[in-house]
Amino acid sequence: MNTVLLTGISGYIGLHSAKQLLEAGYTVRGTVRSQTKGQEVRNTLTAASVDTKNLTIVELDLTSDRGWDDAAKGCDFVMHMASPFVIANPKDPQALITPAVDGSLRALRAAKKAGVKRVVLTSSVLSMMGSMKTGTFGPSDWTDIDAPDVSTYTKSKTLAEKAAWDFVNSQEGDDQMELTVIAPGGVFGPPLGRNITGQSMSMLDQMLRGKLPMVPKAAFPMVDVRDVAKLHVQALTLPEATGKRFIAASAEPNGFQSAAQFLKDEGYKGPSTRIAPDFLLRLMAKFDREAKGMLGLLGMHLSSNNSETRELFGWTPIPFQQSVLETAKAVKTIQGKA
């Protein structure tokens, strides 16, 4: 039975990945920042009818060396998902960039020392498309982090992924550890537990409550969280996946306006399809760090070349409309129990 070290198991994607790994027969060693989080993970998975007998929880910090070698010891694979995710630009950019980059390198160093076969790293399409506005991006593209309005989060994902490739490509000798990168688009889909504090869940929650009177004019490839988890699990053992970056997102762009329209068509009263004027968001960005973090998305209308992902993984993405509506149903249920 293969053992997977899954960093960031308590996250939105992490919980779905843990579920699929355990159901596929893997032993999972999940990392959390506190044991309280660890108990929440176990309770959430149990409530989702997942057998957790092959799950262990370890406490790790992206900014500390402590515990990483022991956590990776005896593992066959590492799935590195842990990374800070906030839209708002922090006052100090290194508050996001340092844990993202250093955390990735800590995971890779520990994996290498433990003799791990392959690391699957969660990146983002932002590391490919973050400095583009129109057209089609693919796995060979990289974001120019010095371009205007590129958010700190986008920079953190780009720099963390580049650091990972540099580490792997600098290996010497015949026994080299493999790296595969999965780069999700905007992630929707029902959460596994009741936590809707993440960015996409929080936005949809506000939309349903009528707290989002306008949405930004932006459209880019989206993906369902269940598909993201599925691709990560497949990437552990797919021979052709080694040394490649895979787009986990639709080919076509989807916007916040279309998400709101799907919800209105389904009878939800809260969502608004009004487009926020760019000048208003730019004005808000002078005073609001979250608005500033959104500036790079303004006017974006991007498609992706996800053909290699679809072909190698035999993947047919869950349609965005289905993802949005199933997410809304789950969020409304959680709101009702709040």
Which of 82, 76, 81 lies closest to 26, judged by CA?
76
Predicted confidence at residue 284, as pLDDT, reads 66
Distance CA 297, CA 278 (A): 10
Three-state DSSP state, 154:
helix
The secondary structure element, H or E, covering residue 27 is strand 27-32
Q: What is the mean pLDDT of residues 90-104?
A: 91
- Paired strand residues for 188: 224
Average pLDDT value for the chain: 91
pLDDT greater than 90 at residue 84: no
| pLDDT at residue 218, rounded to an integer | 87
Residue 275 DSSP one-character state:
B
- Ordered strands of the 77-80 beta sheet: 55-59, 27-32, 3-7, 77-80, 118-122, 178-184, 245-248
pLDDT at 295: 62
State the average pLDDT over residues 276-291: 66
Report the catalytic residues.
Answer: 157
What's the full length of the chain, in residues?
Answer: 338
DSSP label at 237? T
Chain centroid offset of residue 159 CA: 15
- Residue 32, phi then psi, degrees to nearest 5: -135, 165
Which domains are seen in the chain, by residue range? 3-337 (3.40.50.720)
Residue 296 has pLDDT above 70, yes or no: no
Tokens of 66: 């402590």
pTM of the model: 0.94
- Say whether 36 sits in a helix, a strand or coil: helix
Task: Kindly provide the b/e burial profile for residues 175-192, where b requires at least 16 CB atoms within 10 angstroms of the residue's own CB.
Answer: eebbbbbbbbbbbbbbbb
Tens digit of each residue's pLDDT (9 = 90 or more) over 248-279: 999 999 988 999 999 999 999 999 999 877 76
With bands split at pLDDT 50, 70 and 90, how would you rate the model's confidence at 298? confident
Q: Report how far Cα 338 is from the mean position of its chain's Cα atoms.
A: 26
Q: What tokens does 8 get?
A: 């960031």
**Given this model, what pLDDT does residue 309 score?**
98
Whether the per-residue pLDDT at 290 is higher than 80: the answer is: no
Q: Which tokens go with 321?
A: 């409309």
Please indicate whether residue 193 or residue 320 has the higher confidence score (pLDDT): 320
> To which H or E segment does residue 301 belong?
strand 301-304
- 255 CA to centre of own chain: 18
Q: How far apart are CA 84 and CA 269, in angstroms?
A: 33
Q: Report, in angstroms and rounded to the nearest whole number, the Rg of the chain calculated over CA atoms.
A: 19
Distance separating the N- and C-terminal Cα atoms of the chain: 39
Alpha helices (runs of H) in the chain, residue ranges in sequence order: 12-23, 35-47, 68-72, 94-114, 126-129, 152-169, 199-208, 225-235, 256-265, 278-285, 289-294, 307-313, 320-337
Give me the amino acid identity at 149.
D
Once rounded to an integer, what is the mean pLDDT over residues 43-48? 95
- How buried is 51 (Cβ within 10 angstroms: 0-12 exposed, 13-18 middle, 19+ buried)? exposed
Q: How far apart are CA 323 and CA 201, in angstroms?
A: 12
Q: What is the pLDDT confidence band of residue 91, given thresholds at 50, 70 and 90?
A: confident
Residue 89: per-residue pLDDT? 76
In the predicted structure, residue 194 carries a pLDDT above the cut 90: no
* Banded pLDDT at 294 (limits 50, 70, 90): low
- Considering only residues 133 and 303, tell me which one the structure prediction assigns the higher pLDDT: 303
In this prediction, residue 238 has a pLDDT band, given cuts at 50, 70 and 90, of very high
Q: What is the pLDDT of residues 118-155, one digit of tens each?
A: 999 999 999 999 889 899 999 999 999 999 888 888 99
pLDDT at 68 over 60: yes
| Nearest-angstrom CA–CA distance, 232 and 20 | 10
Give the per-residue pLDDT at 241.
Answer: 97
* pLDDT higher than 60, residue 213: yes
pLDDT band at 323 (very low <50, low <70, confident <90, very high): very high
In this prediction, what percent of the chain has a pLDDT beyond 70? 93
Residue 289 has pLDDT above 60, yes or no: yes
Distance CA 22, CA 294 (A): 36
Mean pLDDT, residues 287-314: 82
- The tokens for 141 are 């593209």
163-181: per-residue pLDDT in tens?
A: 999 999 999 878 899 999 9
Q: Are 208 and 291 within 8 A, CB to CB?
A: no
Q: How is residue 117 written in tokens? A: 């076969």
